[in-house]
Amino acid sequence: MANQRHHVLVTDRVHPHLLESFTNLYWEVDYIPEITYEEVKEVLPKYSGIIINSKIKATKEFLDLTDSLQFIGRLGSGLEIIDLEYAKEKGVSVYSAPEGNCNAVAEHALGMLLSLFNKLHNANTQVKNFEWQREQNRGIELSGKTVGIVGFGHTGSSFAKVLAGFDVTVLAYDKYKSDYTTGFDYVKEATPEQIRQESDIISFHLPLTTETHYLADQDYLMTCKDGVYIINTSRGQVLNLEDLLFALSIKKVAGACLDVFENEKFNTLLLDQKVVLTKLLQLDNVLVSPHVAGWTHESLFKIADTLVTKITADF
């Protein structure tokens, strides 16, 4: 496959580095970031490679639309949008770029936590409205707390790195790794039970699978330490928002930082989803952002560079 000239469709915004790199190999590149899913399905047989983001679902039906596809590049890390087993069966190579935005996710998670602890979101709004509320905005220090990291892959380990200077105890759990804290002398491997029982803060860094779907449900949250803070920058359906709302209402959970949601297409929210989300968004101890934890100017380049390196090494 080396030195073969490929025809690649890029279906979402990417850093020019990716386009230039492929073009320099004399590959034909069609950059159509505004293309719809239905339009992609119509033209897919023309291409030997495709670069996708979350709007494209590479299901079995999608993959069966063509026999010419040789590789899929995923802008980011979430591979739940690709039928990996069927892609392998069809000989389609799949590449993702979790290395590209793991630091961005880690910094965002830390930023949300520090903002929540120090009530910066509330204080900013108040001062801009000429309100001066000092005692109301008394903060909490991260130092001395225990942070539990669930999932110690690229983003989980990056979150541990940004916590290094905060004088915290870091507990980590990863079901599919062993000796994964090598090089992290301040991180202790822990059981799921230890994470729940000892952590003042629990941060999820997991892919979405049948195993992790609603991992953090009412049973999970009720067995956590009283007053725990929850961070989710991974996938929305890892955390059951209705169960989180209940845990917040009885103060079992003291606060939450959410960058991801069960349904991120707000115009398609079901009634029960809208009710839960509306109540969550009204809480001062819930800080939210629109799935942008990995969405930095730097990560735009890093993701492109990671995919270029991986794909061109094989093709």
Residues 141 and 214 in one domain: yes
Whether pLDDT at 137 is above 70: yes
**What residues have CB less than 8 Å from 134, skipping those under 6 apart?**
none
Give the pLDDT confidence score for residue 3 in this predicted structure. 62
**What is the domain extent for residue 158?**
102-288
Q: What is the rounded average pLDDT of the residues 189-204?
A: 98
Q: Is 5 a catalytic residue?
A: no
Q: What is the rounded average pLDDT of the residues 22-39?
A: 97
Which one of the listed residues 74, 235, 242, 262 is annotated catalytic? 235
Helix (H) or strand (E) holding 49: strand 49-52
Whether pLDDT at 4 is above 90: no
Phi-psi region of 214 (alpha: psi -120 to 50; beta: other; left: phi over 0): left
Render pLDDT for 162-192 as a digit per residue (tens, 0 to 9): 999 999 999 999 999 999 999 999 999 999 9
pTM of the entire predicted model:
0.94
Categorize the per-residue pLDDT at 2 as very low, low, confident or very high, splitting at 50, 70 and 90. Answer: low
The count of structural domains within the chain is 2
Whether pLDDT at 1 is above 70: no
| 308 lies in some domain | no
Q: Is 264 a catalytic residue?
A: yes
Give the pLDDT confidence score for residue 78 in this predicted structure. 86
| 178 lies in some domain | yes
Of 95, 53, 154, which is closest to residue 307 (Cα–Cα)? 95
Categorize the per-residue pLDDT at 77 as very low, low, confident or very high, splitting at 50, 70 and 90. Answer: confident
| 304 lies in some domain | no
189: Cα within 13 Å, side-chain hemisphere: 10
Residues 27 and 167 in one domain: no
Return the structure tokens found at 6: 């490929």
- Mean of the per-residue pLDDT values for the chain? 96
Which one of the listed residues 39, 141, 264, 298 is annotated catalytic? 264
| 183 lies in some domain | yes
**Percent of the chain's residues with pLDDT above 90:** 97
Residues 120 and 193 in one domain: yes
Residues 213 and 107 in one domain: yes
